[in-house]
Amino acid sequence: MKEYKTITRVAGPLIFVEKTDPVGYGELVKITMPNGDVKSGQVLDTSENMVVVQVFEGTSGIDLNSMVKFLGETIKLPVSDELLGRILNGAGKPIDGGPEVVPEELMEITGAAINPYARANPSDFIQTGISTIDGTNTLVRGQKLPLFSGSGLPHNEIALQIARQAKVRGSNEGFAIVFAAMGITNEESQRFITEFEETGALKRAVVFLNLADDPAVERLITPRMALTAAEYLAFRKGMHVLVILTDMTNYCESLREIGAARSEIPGRRGYPGYMYTDLAMLYERAGMIKGKKGSITQLPILTMVGDDITHPIPDLTGYITEGQIVISRELHSRNIYPPVDVLPSLSRLMNLGIGKGKTREDHKQVSDQLYAFYAEGKDLRGLVAIVGEESLSERERRILKFAADFEAKFVKQAKSEDRDIERTLEIGWRLLSELPENELTRISPELRKQHYGKH
Amino acid sequence: MAKTGKIFRVAGPVVVAELEAGMYDVCKVGKERLLGEVIQINGNHCTIQVYEDTTGIKPGEGVENTEQPLVVELGPGLLSSIYDGIQRPLQVLRNITGDFITRGATAPGIDRKRKWDFKAAVKPGAAVKGGDVLGTVRESETIMHKILVPPSVSGKVTSIADGSHTVTDTIGRLDNGTELRMMQLWPVRKPRPVKEKRLPDVPLITGQRIFDSLFPLAKGGVAAIPGPFGSGKTVAQQSLAKWCDADIIVYVGCGERGNEMTEVLTEFPELIDPKTGKPLMQRTILIANTSNMPVAAREASVYTGITMAEYYRDMGYSVALMADSTSRWAEAMREISSRLEEMPGEEGYPAYLSTRLSEFYERAGRVTTLSGTEGSVSVIGAVSPPGGDFSEPVTQNTLRVVKTFWALDAKLSQRRHFPSINWLTSYSLYFEPLAGWYEENVAPDWVEHVSRARFILQEEDKLLEIVQLVGSDALPEREQVTLLVARMFREFLLQQNAFHPVDTYSELKKTYLIMKTILHFADLAKIALDSGMRAQRVVAIKAKDRIAEVKFEKDYEKLLGDINKDLEKEFSGLK
């Protein structure tokens, strides 16, 4: 295999190589620096007279005397059962002191799209033990449901609580966990790993770590590695896999960095125009396949820049994922854990996973009714701030109280509290029973008769 | 002899090749012969957008120009199919490549082996021209597929006969030697010709109360549903696809979620068309190019869809096309444009965005077909504005061409008001042209009722501003009752549960009677207030609460009859 010493330009994370034999798009590249260090990269643009390579470990130390070798293949992840329990770096190399993974197979990390015709409709209710998720924004197997959070909010605790408590009722199978860290701090990553060790989850987990001081460009392959491992475990080994990706904001920053280095025409806020497609290539790798036992459920975490949900990262994510769980700074500052703001939160697949035979017949209607009153209650709070509570009607005062109770009893729970769905609905009914029965317009008369005031 | 060339450069979905070609020629790229389309010519270099992943393709590999534009295959067998953006049947692809879509897999859009019973409608000796019906094939239990003479063909039939044929068999001949087949090809970017375009004056009945009453869409009309994520675009689109009274539905999932397409795929075959009593899938064509499938095929998917829609229109059917979402289509254009390093317009979108959007929407319409019958294509495009901001280019350029605007509102969806269509910002310019139809076919006072409902809802908006300042108790009695009636309209009429077996579809009569009952209550309340009654006692009327049950009730006429009687009884008891 030929080596080239024809680097003509280095810019940010990119190197430009001239006078090569034909090089394939997306090929893996090895760069040997004069001091003998080796870096790896990938072809971003190839033509007869110039090849552009993005270098995963950053370009520091690369000069015009560095040697470039094109490997003639794309990036692959060695996969086998042995991946479980291992900690790897963002590029898929073990960093836990253990041996190299002996591959059963090498899998392309880009991943192909699941044929929509081959997909199975996700419909298995996952009980997370958190009322605001189970009760009002239900997660189902095969869903991608991100946590929209902000810096300083307890999204990691929530993700860990979900990972710890998540189960499908009536089945003993636990979830295998694939955890991909992108640019999070060492401290945060340690907390995840300690928790995985303590709960014994590490045995069933594959951990990919790209920390804050690791090369930023490597972040672009970390989630792809993780999802490839997840696909292997789910669709080859029949496991139910929960993938936690944190923090997607750092991933997108890296994407922007590459775009800028290539002098591409930027889209909104400088992010590349293809960010939607790029994110979709990751998120869409969740799902279930007809006739296959396993599933991939995704729980990406992203911190919203300035808590702005219209920022391109949460915005594009929300258009791809099947809903979102929004973490609220306001609830957090009032010491309510988990500070999930149910109003902007949503689970699009909720209706597939709930109801008679899955959770309970009244689930949907209770959820809608809670939503409706809580939304009204929150509006009234704004009104009270202007006109005072005295000028409210009797009904409005009751709803105002409902909103407060809802936050204190339904939303708030302990970090170790694992509420089953019956308990969650029971709390819901108790709150609703404080209001006159004829106000429950979202609930059918029969269900009202069955549950109103009975809990 | 096909023209060939070689690849010069590869960058993502865009490939530059040294090749002699015309604009929009379809090419086979590289060793794997990936399908692509020429989108720019620069000297002897032309730029090709490739419909599949280009990883591993090298400069120097060959390119073959087919010298044909991108075409779709039209003929019996389209219905009940599910295709990707360039008409590859996904069901067949699964058999070839497995659960994941890999590169280079091809399969014809229409099954070549399946035989159809063709019944000739013309006799040898007849003179035919483009668009004339040669014969029929029963494509599904509900749809009779008419085999049309391709638009550019005409002549005298020398032979034609009934029989069982595949779509590529010769079913007859013309005197000029043209062989007639059941399948024809049509370039996707070129509108199929019609005799004339006509003004739409028949409503597309959707079974959704807010659309049918306040913001109707005409058959052959165009509507846009913009809304931020989570506001219910997809549910609204799917409800329309399920229940609207078009003969044929083309549903284009353009850059959207895989799981959502699966939901459609699982659900549609089980749903029964209220009009025909047959599975809805029998009238539906699905085009699924999910967000992680190649971006160039996403760009092509809406054209593939509308061409199929036009084909069925030419048979004299009313067709409704749902495009979810046109923003993803626009983004595909932006992505490709930026790879071409074109000078961008607003927000990085290409300067030709507006032209492309209006060209696409103009392919909708109610028409007289070439053979003289009437057909229509209605287009309902979902728009996904970033951050829910309607001032962005895709929404704005769409608004310039559409006549019905269904604005989704995240605030409403957060309070679980579904469909979360904002009744204050939405509009329909078809309301007046369709008034006559409604008055004739539903009730003479339909327009009056809808106008009153609209007025009360607008009134509520003004009053709520005052309430924000002084509290609701400070309002005069009459206004308090107005607020109550407006709330009844919102909860009992506008809200509709797409997941409830009865409420998911509301016939026009039901919509009308609910409106009428609420207005009846309003009238009785007005009389009571005029005679000095306190608003509190009107609010306490019990019978009105039962209107909430009507939407879930099959035998709604009886229930409403009872409620109306009880209302009158309760009101007369007040005195």
- Asked if residue B452 and residue B431 are part of one domain, the reply reads no
| Residue B105 pLDDT | 82
- Asked if residue A230 and residue A94 are part of one domain, the reply reads yes
- Asked if residue B437 and residue B451 are part of one domain, the reply reads no
Let me know if residue B330 belongs to a domain.
Answer: yes
- Asked if residue B403 and residue B371 are part of one domain, the reply reads yes
End of a domain among A70, A102, A126?
A: A70
| Residue B575 pLDDT | 66
- Asked if residue A367 and residue A348 are part of one domain, the reply reads no
d(CA B64, CA B29): 7
Alpha helices in A23-153 (DSSP H): 131-134
End of a domain among B69, B95, B119?
A: B69
- Residue B10 Cα, gap to closest chain A Cα (Å): 5
Q: How many other CB atoms are there within 10 angstroms of residue B224's CB atom?
A: 23
For range A405-418, the mean pLDDT: 96
- Which residues pair with residue A300 across a beta bridge? A245
| Residue B1 pLDDT | 46
**B16, B99, B387 member nearest A115 (Cβ):** B99
Please answer yes or no on whether B257 and A322 come within 8 Å at the CB atom: yes
For range A157-175, the mean pLDDT: 87
- Asked if residue B309 and residue B204 are part of one domain, the reply reads yes
The kind and range of the H/E element at A284 are none
Q: Which residues of A touch B548 (CB under 8 A)?
A: 441
End of a domain among B441, B474, B491?
A: B441
Cβ burial of A5 (10 Å; 0-12, 13-18, 19+) is: exposed
Pairing of strands A14-18, A50-55: antiparallel
For range A196-217, the mean pLDDT: 90
**B255, B260, B348 member nearest A265 (Cβ):** B348
End of a domain among A70, A104, A119?
A: A70
- Residue A280 Cα, gap to closest chain B Cα (Å): 5
- Asked if residue A334 and residue A242 are part of one domain, the reply reads yes
Q: What percent of chain A has pLDDT above 90?
A: 77
- Asked if residue A230 and residue A367 are part of one domain, the reply reads no
pLDDT tens digits, one per residue of A66-103: 999 999 888 999 999 999 999 999 989 999 999 999 99
- Residue A397 Cα, gap to closest chain B Cα (Å): 12
| Cβ–Cβ < 8 Å for B101, B164 | no
What is this structure's pTM?
0.91
| Residue A215 pLDDT | 86
| Cβ–Cβ < 8 Å for A191, A199 | no
- Asked if residue B403 and residue B468 are part of one domain, the reply reads no
Q: Which of A204-218, A355-369, B466-480 shows the lowest mean pLDDT across its residues?
A: B466-480
- Interface check B112 vs A, CB under 8 A: no
Let me know if residue A282 belongs to a domain.
Answer: yes
B545 half-sphere exposure, CB direction, 13 A CA radius: 16
- Interface check B295 vs A, CB under 8 A: yes
d(CA A334, CA B239): 40
Task: Given the cut 0.95, state whether the ipTM is greater than it.
Answer: no
Let me know if residue B75 belongs to a domain.
Answer: no
- Asked if residue A283 and residue A367 are part of one domain, the reply reads no
- Asked if residue A322 and residue A254 are part of one domain, the reply reads yes
For range A164-190, the mean pLDDT: 89
- Running DSSP on this structure, what letter comes out for residue A19? S
Residue whose C-alpha is closest to residue A296's, from A349, A374, A234, A203: A234
Q: How confident is the model at residue A239 (pLDDT cuts 50, 70, 90)?
A: very high
Let me know if residue B247 belongs to a domain.
Answer: yes
- Residue A434 Cα, gap to closest chain B Cα (Å): 19
Please answer yes or no on whether A48 and B8 come within 8 Å at the CB atom: yes
Let me know if residue B79 belongs to a domain.
Answer: no
- Interface check B100 vs A, CB under 8 A: yes
End of a domain among B139, B164, B184?
A: B184
Let me know if residue A13 belongs to a domain.
Answer: yes
> What are the distances in angstroms from CA A315 to CA A259, B114, B292, B491?
19, 45, 17, 30
Please answer yes or no on whether A346 and B101 come within 8 Å at the CB atom: no
- Asked if residue A334 and residue A188 are part of one domain, the reply reads yes
Chain B 176-195, residues with CB within 8 Å of chain A CB atoms = none
End of a domain among A45, A70, A95?
A: A70
Please answer yes or no on whether B386 and A23 come within 8 Å at the CB atom: no
A16 half-sphere exposure, CB direction, 13 A CA radius: 11
- Asked if residue B337 and residue B415 are part of one domain, the reply reads yes
Residue whose C-alpha is closest to residue B248's, from B108, B78, B31, B25: B78
The kind and range of the H/E element at B466 are helix B446-470
d(CA A99, CA A91): 16
- Asked if residue A383 and residue A339 are part of one domain, the reply reads no
Q: How many other CB atoms are there within 10 angstroms of residue B351's CB atom?
A: 12
- Among A25, A47, A285, the strongest candidate for a mutation testing the B interface, having the largest count of B CBs within 10 A, is A25
Q: Which domain holds residue B474?
A: 446-574
Q: How confident is the model at residue A264 (pLDDT cuts 50, 70, 90)?
A: confident
- Asked if residue A194 and residue A285 are part of one domain, the reply reads yes
d(CA A124, CA A118): 17
Let me know if residue A290 belongs to a domain.
Answer: yes
CATH number of the domain bearing residue A345: 3.40.50.12240
- Asked if residue A88 and residue A44 are part of one domain, the reply reads no
Structurally, chain A folds into a number of domains equal to 3
Please answer yes or no on whether B255 and A280 come within 8 Å at the CB atom: yes
Please answer yes or no on whether A277 and B97 come within 8 Å at the CB atom: no
CATH number of the domain bearing residue B140: 2.40.50.100
The answer to whether residue A455 scores a pLDDT higher than 80 is yes
- Asked if residue B457 and residue B431 are part of one domain, the reply reads no
Let me know if residue A260 belongs to a domain.
Answer: yes
- Asked if residue B154 and residue B38 are part of one domain, the reply reads no
- Asked if residue A91 and residue A55 are part of one domain, the reply reads no
Let me know if residue A358 belongs to a domain.
Answer: no
- Asked if residue B393 and residue B500 are part of one domain, the reply reads no
- Minimal Cα distance from B386: which residue of A? A315
| Residue B2 pLDDT | 61
Pairing of strands B14-18, B3-11: antiparallel
pLDDT tens digits, one per residue of B186-203: 999 999 999 999 999 999
- Asked if residue A140 and residue A64 are part of one domain, the reply reads no
Please answer yes or no on whether A115 and B257 come within 8 Å at the CB atom: no
Let me know if residue A322 belongs to a domain.
Answer: yes
- Asked if residue B246 and residue B160 are part of one domain, the reply reads no
Q: Sort residue B11 into left (φ over 0), alpha (ψ -120 to 50) or beta.
A: beta
A221 three-class SS:
coil
The answer to whether residue A399 scores a pLDDT higher than 50 is yes
- Asked if residue B122 and residue B103 are part of one domain, the reply reads yes
d(CA A353, CA B37): 42
For range A149-162, the mean pLDDT: 93
Please answer yes or no on whether A46 and B473 come within 8 Å at the CB atom: no
Structure tokens belonging to residue B111: 């099954």
> What are the distances in angstroms from CA A255 to CA A259, A299, B54, B60?
6, 20, 19, 29
Q: How confident is the model at residue A150 (pLDDT cuts 50, 70, 90)?
A: very high
* Residues in CB range of A337: below 8 A, 6 or more apart: A154, A157, A412, A413, A414, A415
- Asked if residue B284 and residue B418 are part of one domain, the reply reads yes
- Running DSSP on this structure, what letter comes out for residue B352? T
- Chain A / chain B CB contacts < 8 angstroms: 226
Structurally, chain B folds into a number of domains equal to 4
Structure tokens belonging to residue A345: 């939160």
Let me know if residue B190 belongs to a domain.
Answer: no
**A115, A315, A319 member nearest B90 (Cβ):** A115
Tens-digit pLDDT profile for chain B (575 aa)?
A: 468 999 999 988 899 999 999 999 999 999 989 999 999 999 999 999 998 889 889 999 999 999 999 999 999 999 999 999 999 999 999 999 999 988 878 899 999 999 999 999 999 999 999 999 999 999 998 899 999 999 999 999 999 989 999 999 999 999 999 999 999 999 999 999 999 999 999 999 999 999 999 999 999 999 999 988 878 888 888 899 989 999 999 999 998 899 988 888 888 888 888 778 888 899 999 999 999 888 889 999 999 999 999 999 999 999 999 998 899 999 999 888 888 888 888 888 999 999 999 999 999 999 999 999 999 999 999 999 887 889 999 999 999 999 999 999 988 988 889 999 999 999 999 999 999 999 999 999 999 999 999 999 999 999 998 888 887 778 899 999 999 999 999 999 999 998 888 999 999 999 999 999 999 999 999 999 999 989 889 989 999 999 999 999 999 999 999 999 999 999 998 86
For range A380-392, the mean pLDDT: 86
Q: Which residues of B touch A283 (CB under 8 A)?
A: 292
- Among A19, A20, A114, A117, the strongest candidate for a mutation testing the B interface, having the largest count of B CBs within 10 A, is A117
CATH number of the domain bearing residue B401: 3.40.50.300
**B55, B265, B470 member nearest A25 (Cβ):** B55
Let me know if residue A357 belongs to a domain.
Answer: no
- Residue B217 Cα, gap to closest chain A Cα (Å): 26
Q: Which domain holds residue A45?
A: 3-70
Read off the amino acid at residue A246. T
Structure tokens belonging to residue B231: 């506001």
Please answer yes or no on whether B100 and A115 come within 8 Å at the CB atom: yes
- Among A277, A343, A365, the strongest candidate for a mutation testing the B interface, having the largest count of B CBs within 10 A, is A277
Q: Which residues of B touch A343 (CB under 8 A)?
A: 414-415
Chain B 50-89, residues with CB within 8 Å of chain A CB atoms = 53-61, 82
CATH number of the domain bearing residue A25: 2.40.10.170
